[in-house]
Each structure stands twice: as structure tokens, then as C-alpha cells.
Amino acid sequence: MNSTKKQCQLQRLLCDEQPDFLAIQETKITEDNDIASALRPFLFRYESCVIRAVGFSAGCFLFLKKCVNLEHLQVVIDEQGRFISCDFTLSGVQWRVICVYAPNNVRQTEQFFQFLRSYVECDKVLVVLGDFNCVCDERDKSSRTGYSDSSVSILKYITDTRGLEDVGALQEERYDLRYTHFQASSYSRLDRIYVSVDIIQQAHGYRVQPVFFTGHYLVTIKIGKREKTNSKFNWRLWKMNRKLLQDEQFVATVTELLSSLHE
């Protein structure tokens, strides 16, 4: 997000995907003028929650689509550029959406997850998403080295005790859905979306897709009723109804049409 080229590419992505909410981590933008410039192309359609980077590291944006009727918005950010919590009411339900960008130092990650813990202890419907910079399952990384440390234990405790489900972990075993971050020959599923167990049945359409202007993939889900897919007509599936040949009106109409073709 710290370059005009990336901002234009993000604009194109938003036009294609049309998300209601979008969480972006590691913007690396520290100055107010640069933040204002980066946000300007998106403010026509989106409200934005912003936390600046610290020392050219971290920084997060959370975009909220203006046409979604959100009420009673409250936003909390941290001082390290790694956390945005947004409370709102939608359709009479109280929600808390949390954007996270965890440190990659184990000690700092422990402290960060302990901080996160205090915000997931609530009676709201939770959506916690972002770059967790760790994996909770050995299948989520290519390296054979140990995947678990003390920070992972804290995150697992939080998700287990607060009834948070990792949407990606519930998907079928498919390679194209597994990993979200690629670096040289290693790959892992660092970018995840957790939702309250109360709405897990409403979460669907999980997708992981490459975004060429970043080393991380775009992870998306839909929450709500599943859209009905209209089946398209396919000539290969067409079959003649022989009883139509016994219908005098049908036979007369077809005969007339065929006769007109010869005239």
C-alpha cells in the first residue's frame, strides 16, 4: 500500500471482488499525508479504520463498505500498528471484527496474543482475521521443523475457549486451498479467518487466490444465506418430448415455420 502501483492494483481487485469488508496488513505507511493519499481512491465506496505503521513495519487498514447498514460503530487500535477492533450492529446483531498482524518474534507474539485475548472475551459475534505469522497445524506449513511454540499454545487456547473456528481448517483437503503465503521454496497458511462457532454454518464460499502484488494470497469467505445458482440451459442436455408430435397446435406451428423458411 505504500506505492501508487499497489494502490491501483488494489482498486482493480476491489472492483472484481466487491467485498463488504477488507482487512489489509503490513501497509508500512507511517505518515498522515501518505495514509490520506493511499486511502483517497477507496473512500467513495468504503469507510476506513486505520492504524499507521511503526518504524516502517506493520500498519493495517480495515475497509467497511458504505452501502452496508452498520450501526453503532466503535473502533479500537493498538500502538504497535498490528490490531484493529471494530464493533457494530448489523441486522440487530452485535458484531466484533478484529484485524490482526502478529509479530514474527515468539516473545512478542505471545504478548500480542495475550492482548488479543482480552478483546475476544465478549458476547458479540466474532470475526478475527489477518496474518497470524504462525500455524496451528503441522499440515499448514511445508517445513518439517517443529511448528508449535508457546505463542501457538496461547492462540489455540484462545480459539478453543472462546469458540472460534478456523474456517480454512474445515475445508476439504485440497492443495489449492491450503497455503496462503509463499516465500522461496517454503509455504504456509499464515492468513486465516476465525469466526464464532454460532455462525460457522453460515460461513461458506471459502477461497484462497493469488494476488500478484504481494507474497500473501487473498483469503475470502461469505457469511449469510447461500445464493441460489440458476442453472443455465445446455443444448447437450436437451431431449425431444415425443408427445409434442401428438399436439396438433405444435405440429401446425412448426410446419408453418418450416414452410416460411423455404419461401
Which residues sit in the known binding site for Mg(2+)? 26, 131, 133
Give the residue from 168, 159, 163 showing the smallest Cα distance to 205.
168
Phi and psi at residue 47, to the nearest 5°: -85, 155
CA dihedral sign, ordered 246, 249, 250, 251 = positive
Buried b / exposed e along 195-228 (16+ C-beta atoms within 10 A)? bbeebbeebeebebeeeeebebbbbbbebeeeee
**What count of other Cβ atoms lies within 10 Å of the Cβ of residue 58?**
23
Tell me the sheet residues that pair with 50: 61
Q: At what angle do helices 150-161 and 106-120 cross, to 10 degrees?
A: 10
Burial of 115 (0-12, 13-18, 19+ CB in 10 A): middle
Contact of 206 with 226, CB cutoff 8 Å: no
Name the region of 55 (left: φ>0; alpha: ψ -120 to 50; beta: rest).
left
For residue 39, CA distances in Å to 56, 188, 211, 263 come to 18, 30, 19, 65
